[in-house]
Amino acid sequence: QQGDPVEAPAFLAASYACQRNTPQPGHNTLLTAALSVLAESAELNGDEGRGLAFRRSEGLLRSLDRRVQGLAELRGLPCLGDHSRRVIQDLLENGVSSEVEETKSSPRYKAMKLLTGIFGVGVKTAKRWFTEGICSLAQLETSGHSLNAAQQAGVCYYTDLNQPVSREEADAVSVMVEGVVHSVLPGARVTLAGGFRRGKMSGHDVDFLITHPDEGKEEGLIHKIIACLESRGLLLYQQNTRNTYRESAKGAGRPSSSMDRFERCFSIFKLTNDSSYTADNGTGSGGRPWRAVRVDLVVSPISQFAFALLGWTGSKLFERETRRWAVRERSMSLSSHALYDRNQERYLRASSEEEIFAHLGLEYVSPTGRNA
């Protein structure tokens, strides 16, 4: 019997995450979970560049269609820096990475994760509190810091909001949202976005994009939705913003930050454990017959819907990479509102995600392949 003379082919991988199909959860979860910790730790330190480098490594490994068993298999692959390769080598040889273990058990990482786990608390605030020695909710409470409304809700529903939302719960929230939207604006369309659209089985929130086939009918819709949700007792907290997006002749419709300008509402829903939903974890903390769930509602005019859908489906890395591809490889700027061609000095219209990929010269990646 002759041994197989053919060497295993090297993995092929493109360098932008938006050029790859990345299903969930991937074949290298030990490696991707570890790199994700290092990325998160860098992000929690405010080191965006370092965080992005680890996220790109993580994204590359997520896209591979088989399990990596030796470092040699990764030769020539993009996105993997020396640091990531060292961590991967440790994991492949020893099953653990000392750097990742040290990071996870460091007081700073633990405190920052806990504090940023409060809805309404970002890295800057958490950092300030940690510097003052605050490492727990109890310490935050006795510190005398006054919390804004979002943070108060975040502390109040901390346990519920840090318990992953299941598919079943997301479906139950969909039923609630559709009922309310259709009652305030018949003909409006509700689309599940975010991680659940990518096929994830759980998430930290549920994201919805809402539009109406007649342009203009969606104006002011978020306020009607909120009023109706409130009248039905479904909202525990909400914070909304109105639409501030305008196209400009110079393509400045490209927002300066990654924030978009749609009418939207970051909210906390009261999900009741009734017949319409049958998850096992059907109660909130303290044995209440309901639990708190984070819900994002975004309203888009139909003319921007394809861009909004692409932008709100994620993953975050997939979005960043698509925008980076657009600028660097096509001289275009992509946002959740529009695609602007800097060479032609005009906006490119699209009524589907497929058309946007085509404008960008990218092969279409379906939502379930965007889990970079």
Q: Tell me how far apart the alpha carbons of residues 243 and 300 are, in angstroms, rounded to a whole number.
A: 9
Q: Tell me how far apart the alpha carbons of residues 153 and 229 are, in angstroms, rounded to a whole number.
A: 17
CB nearer to Mn ion: give 83 or 324.
83
- Give the footprint of ligand CTP on this chain (CB under 6 A): 194-195, 200, 203-205, 207, 259-260, 311-312, 314-316, 319, 336
Residue 264 bridge partners (DSSP):
241, 298
The rounded radius of gyration (Å) of the Cα atoms in the chain is 22
319 binds Mn ion (CB under 5 A): no
296 binds Mn ion (CB under 5 A): yes
Q: Which of 82, 205, 260, 341 is catalytic?
A: 205
Q: Which of 47, 207, 274, 341 is catalytic?
A: 207
- Which run of H or of E encompasses 294? strand 290-299
83 binds Mn ion (CB under 5 A): yes
296 is catalytic: yes
Q: Which of 47, 90, 171, 296 is catalytic?
A: 296
Q: Tell me how far apart the alpha carbons of residues 104 and 38 are, in angstroms, rounded to a whole number.
A: 9
Q: What is the smallest separation between the CB atom of 264 and ligand CTP, expressed in angstroms?
A: 8
Residue 259 interface partner, choices Mn ion, ligand CTP, none, CB cut-off 5-8 Å depending on type = ligand CTP
CB nearer to Mn ion: give 54 or 129.
54
205 binds Mn ion (CB under 5 A): yes
What x/- string results for residues 251 through 290 when contact with Mn ion is judged by CB under 5 A? Answer: ----------------------------------------
Residue 83 interface partner, choices Mn ion, ligand CTP, none, CB cut-off 5-8 Å depending on type = Mn ion
CB nearer to ligand CTP: give 167 or 204.
204
Q: Is the dihedral of CA 191, 194, 200, 201 positive or negative?
A: negative
207 binds Mn ion (CB under 5 A): yes
Which bin fits 173, alpha (ψ -120 to 50), beta or left (φ > 0)?
Answer: alpha
Q: What is the smallest separation between the CB atom of 334 and Mn ion, expressed in angstroms?
A: 19
CB nearer to ligand CTP: give 36 or 285.
36
Structure tokens given for 307: 């861009």
CB-hemisphere CA count at 13 Å for 324?
13
What are the angstrom distances between the C-alpha of 334 and each of 40, 96, 243, 304? 25, 39, 18, 12
**Segment interacting with Mn ion (CB under 5 A) among 85-93, 94-102, 114-122, 194-202:** 194-202
Q: What is the smallest separation between the CB atom of 23 and ligand CTP, expressed in angstroms?
A: 15
CB nearer to Mn ion: give 83 or 349.
83
User: Would you list the DSSP string of 198-267?
Assistant: TT-SEESSEEEEEE-SSTTTTTTHHHHHHHHHHHTT-EEEEEEE-------TTSTTS-SSS----EEEEE
Residue 208 interface partner, choices ligand CTP, Mn ion, none, CB cut-off 5-8 Å depending on type = none
Burial class (CB in 10 A: 0-12, 13-18, 19+), 74: buried
Q: Tell me how far apart the alpha carbons of residues 61 and 66 are, in angstroms, rounded to a whole number.
A: 9
Q: What is the smallest separation between the CB atom of 312 and ligand CTP, expressed in angstroms?
A: 4
205 is catalytic: yes
207 is catalytic: yes
From edge to edge, which strands make up the β-sheet containing 290-299? Answer: 189-192, 206-211, 290-299, 263-272, 235-241
Residues near Mn ion (CB under 5 A) = 83, 194-195, 203, 205, 207, 296
**Could you give the residue numbers annotated as active site?**
205, 207, 296
